[in-house]
Amino acid sequence: MALGSALRRLTLFDRYLVVIFALLVVVSFLFPFSKQPGARVVVDADHRTVYTAPLNENRTFEVSGPLGDTRLTIENGAVRVLSSPCPQKICIGMGEAHQAGDLLACVPNRIVIRVEGQAEGESYDLLSR
């Protein structure tokens, strides 16, 4: 009753406003404004960003550090280190990074690889390894 009475008191302008607001709410849930799914790979060498690429495009590339070139590959929505001039190859052993916030690093070669942007179905905020 109260709702019916309230709706009757709405002017045409009010009704347009209601429709626009309702659409905005729906759209805000359907489309993430802030971060796009299909995140990006960002590579820093010695504190400078030297390479970025979308995570959904397969490619292989190299980044130079003080020890030489670290070879990276993006494949099937994940990035990993293929080869590295560092002695222990821990960066290769770290495996893949695929969700937002995932990090890989080659400490001796001063290279940090991170995934930015929000992918669907993230299962954790931080990884303990």
Partner 1 sequence: MFSRPWALILLVLLVALVFWQRFSTEKSQLSRTALLMGTLVEIQANGDDRELLETAVTDAIAEMSRLEQLFSTHIPQSEINRLSDAGTLQVSIETAELLTLGQQIARSSQGAFDMCLGNLKRLWDIESQAPKTPSEKELREALRGIGPESLQIEGRQVTKQTESLRIDLGGIAKGYAVDRAVEILRAAGVLSAAVNAGGDIRLLGYRQGQPWRIGIQHPRQNGEVIATLMLQDRAVVTSGDYERYFEVEGTRYHHLFDPQTGRPARGCQSVTVVAADAASADALATAAFVLGPQKGLALLEQMPEVEGFLIAADGSRLTTSGLEDFLEWH
User: Does 22 participate in binding partner 1 (rule CB under 8 A)?
Assistant: yes
Tokens of 109: 């070669």
User: Does 67 participate in binding partner 1 (rule CB under 8 A)?
Assistant: no
Closest CA to 92 of 121, 119, 113, 123: 113
User: Does 96 participate in binding partner 1 (rule CB under 8 A)?
Assistant: yes
Choose the stretch contacting partner 1; rule: CB under 8 A; options: 50-58, 68-76, 118-126: 118-126
Q: Which residues pair with 73 in a beta bridge?
A: 60, 80
Q: Which residues pair with 75 in a beta bridge?
A: 78
User: Does 28 participate in binding partner 1 (rule CB under 8 A)?
Assistant: yes
Q: Which residues pair with 68 in a beta bridge?
A: 65
Tokens of 21: 């607001």
User: Does 129 participate in binding partner 1 (rule CB under 8 A)?
Assistant: yes
- Contacting partner 1 (CB under 8 A), which of 6, 50, 60, 68? 6
- Contacting partner 1 (CB under 8 A), which of 53, 67, 82, 105? 105
Choose the stretch contacting partner 1; rule: CB under 8 A; options: 23-31, 48-56, 67-75: 23-31
Query: What is the C-alpha separation between 125 and 66, in angstroms, rounded?
Result: 31
User: Does 69 participate in binding partner 1 (rule CB under 8 A)?
Assistant: no
User: Does 110 participate in binding partner 1 (rule CB under 8 A)?
Assistant: yes
Contact 65, 109 (CB under 8 A): yes
For tokens 């709702």, name the residue: 3
- Contacting partner 1 (CB under 8 A), which of 41, 52, 98, 117? 98
